[in-house]
Amino acid sequence: MCAYGERLPLRSQSIAACMMILLIHQVAPEDRYSLLAESRRVLRPGGVLMVKTSSHRDLRRRTFVKFFPSGLEINLSRYPTIENLVETARAVGFDLLCLEPIHSSQVLPVADILHAIRSKHNSTLALLSKEEFDTGYASLERTVDAMSTFRIDHYHTIAKFRRKEISPGCATSFRGDRGVPSIRFSS
């Protein structure tokens, strides 16, 4: 399925779980509320939302920061803080279940890494100035010159949320239009 995250072609309360993998930073800050509200809409009561993202600490630990230093500043401005993510999720009707920092690493052939970097395989590299990219790439080439493989460490944070239940006698509708949740009391 291909759809806008703010307008999923799914019935309300029709799925048990939803995952966002390295997506939240690609969404404009003013649209994150709508994205999370739409996820809540399609989740069944008690449904789970998992968001894989990078905390600001995770971003600072990335392998290639030393080669492309302004990439860190770009990412710090694009990725929400974990506190902001949790606050927004709570505002649309989720309870935080857990935050789990995860680490993984890959050892890859140097030629594959250089090819991926040269082709600007991620959005951060595409946002660098040509001068910084060329300088960082040349520094990377010098660093890996005598190596056949290179280790890349990946640091991320998984935020796991549960769709909050509605109190008896109170029907709540969370709108995905950046508005405040509308609350309707029933007798």
Q: Is residue 6 part of a domain?
A: no
DSSP 102-123: EEEEEEEEHHHHHHHHHTT-SH
Q: For residue 142, give Cα distances in angstroms to 24, 25, 48, 166.
A: 34, 31, 46, 58
> Range of 79's domain?
15-103+155-185
Residue 4 confidence (pLDDT): 80
Conformational region of residue 96, where left means phi above 0, alpha means psi within -120 to 50, and beta covers everything else: beta
Q: Is residue 110 part of a domain?
A: no
pTM of the model: 0.83
How many structural domains is the chain composed of?
1
Q: Is residue 55 part of a domain?
A: yes
Q: Is residue 144 part of a domain?
A: no
Q: Is residue 176 part of a domain?
A: yes
Q: Is residue 118 part of a domain?
A: no
CATH code of the domain containing 80: 3.40.50.150
Residue 167 confidence (pLDDT): 56
Residue 171 confidence (pLDDT): 47
pLDDT tens track of the chain, all 187 residues? 777 888 899 999 999 999 999 999 999 999 999 999 999 999 999 999 999 999 999 999 999 999 999 999 999 999 999 999 999 999 999 999 999 999 999 999 999 999 999 999 988 999 999 999 999 999 999 999 999 999 999 999 999 999 998 654 444 444 444 333 333 333 3
Q: What is the distance between the alpha carbons of residues 59 and 57, in angstroms, rounded to a whole number?
A: 5
Q: Is residue 141 part of a domain?
A: no
Helices 69-78/130-144 angle, 10° precision: 120
Q: Is residue 138 part of a domain?
A: no
